[in-house]
Amino acid sequence: MADNKCNRDFLDHDRLSVDEYYEVEHFARENGVSPSQVSKLIKKNGNDRMTLTQAVRALRDRK
Between 4 and 1, the more confident residue is: 4
pLDDT of residue 34: 95
Residue 34 · residue 9 · CB < 8 Å: no
The torsion defined by the Cα of 40, 52, 58 and 41, in degrees rounded to 10, comes to -10
pLDDT at 56 over 60: yes
pLDDT of residue 1: 45
